[in-house]
Amino acid sequence: MAKQNPEHEMSFLEHLEELRWHILRALGGTFLIAVALLFSKKFVFDTLIFGPARKEFITYQFLCKIKICLSPPTPHIYQRLMGEEFVTHLKVSFILGLIVAFPYVFWEIWKFIKPGLYPKEQKAARGIVWICSGLFIMGVLFGYFIIAPFAITFLLNYSISDIVAGNDVTLGSWINYMVMFTLPTGLVFELPIIMYFLSKAGLVYPDTLKKFRKHAIVAILIVAAIVTPPDVMTQILISIPLYALYEVSIIISARVDKNRKKAELAEARQQDS
């Protein structure tokens, strides 16, 4: 972004060159982690990717202790195409590398954006790299340890007819579902940050969020009902964190709105004097 330096205004090509180097460094960090994960095949697949398919998975053990026992049938996972396991190994290593490297990737993006902001804007966004990274990782963990076990149990137990052969799952299908259960929740957990900047830009107001609170609750309950078995307790376990994010967004928006009104009032008084 443009430096706040009157002596040197960067040209468009200089911006592109700087952006290119930030992207290359971000990809380089992701690549290094992905390569390391390539040599940890047993941990990546047996422990992480196929973990929710095992009855000894930590979430199932914890739920049984509080009398909510899930019973996921053991799936038979097979490759449909020759070389699919190799391609999947590369794909999963890159995706996990991107997740692990997310703080560094976001830091590189922030280093490109930050010089173009005014000091007041930089101060308002202080700590954003750590906050965004923390929320993203929390979202991924929530999807992995909460959404994935419930959804997998429901989907593997679901049957439309006895004629349909059960629990033969393609490798690609399993990987796609695991990505769907984790990455989107990582992005959803960024909701408070998104609302913060939308509120700063005057595009979202706390009154609007409060007005649509009931709609948000209904949407959250629908999502929870889709990814969980027909059990009220499990739906509540899914819904509470998602609703908490919405309430946190309202609080953040209200604080931003309050600070904006204070600044406008102070500016008006200064003009009057």
DSSP symbols for 37-64: HHT-HIIIIIIIITGGGSTT-HHHHHHH
183 and 200 belong to one structural domain? no
Q: What is the distance between the alpha carbons of residues 29 and 239, in angstroms, rounded to a whole number?
A: 35
11 and 131 belong to one structural domain? yes
Using the 3D structure, point to which of 161, 189, 217 is the last residue of a domain: 189
pLDDT in tens, 235-259: 777 788 889 999 999 999 999 888 8
Determine the average pLDDT of the residues in 228-234. 60
DSSP at 144:
I
Q: What is the distance between the alpha carbons of residues 179 and 49, in angstroms, rounded to a whole number?
A: 10
Q: What is the distance between the alpha carbons of residues 159 and 144, in angstroms, rounded to a whole number?
A: 24
122 and 50 belong to one structural domain? yes
Total structural domains within the chain: 2
Domain encompassing residue 173: 1-189
- Among 79-88, 124-133, 220-229, name the most confident range: 79-88
245 and 121 belong to one structural domain? no
Closest Cα partner for 49 from 199, 156, 172, 190? 172
154 and 223 belong to one structural domain? no
pLDDT in tens, 2-49: 444 444 567 778 878 888 999 999 999 999 999 999 999 999 999 999
149 and 200 belong to one structural domain? no
252 and 180 belong to one structural domain? no
83 and 206 belong to one structural domain? no
166 and 84 belong to one structural domain? yes
108 and 118 belong to one structural domain? yes
135 and 54 belong to one structural domain? yes
- Among 41-45, 79-83, 144-148, name the most confident range: 41-45
Q: What is the distance between the alpha carbons of residues 234 and 52, in angstroms, rounded to a whole number?
A: 16
| Summary mean pLDDT of the chain | 85
Determine the average pLDDT of the residues in 193-211. 87
Q: In degrees to the nearest 10, what's the CA dihedral of 238, 239, 245, 247?
A: -160
Q: By the 8 A CB rule, do 44 and 37 touch?
A: yes
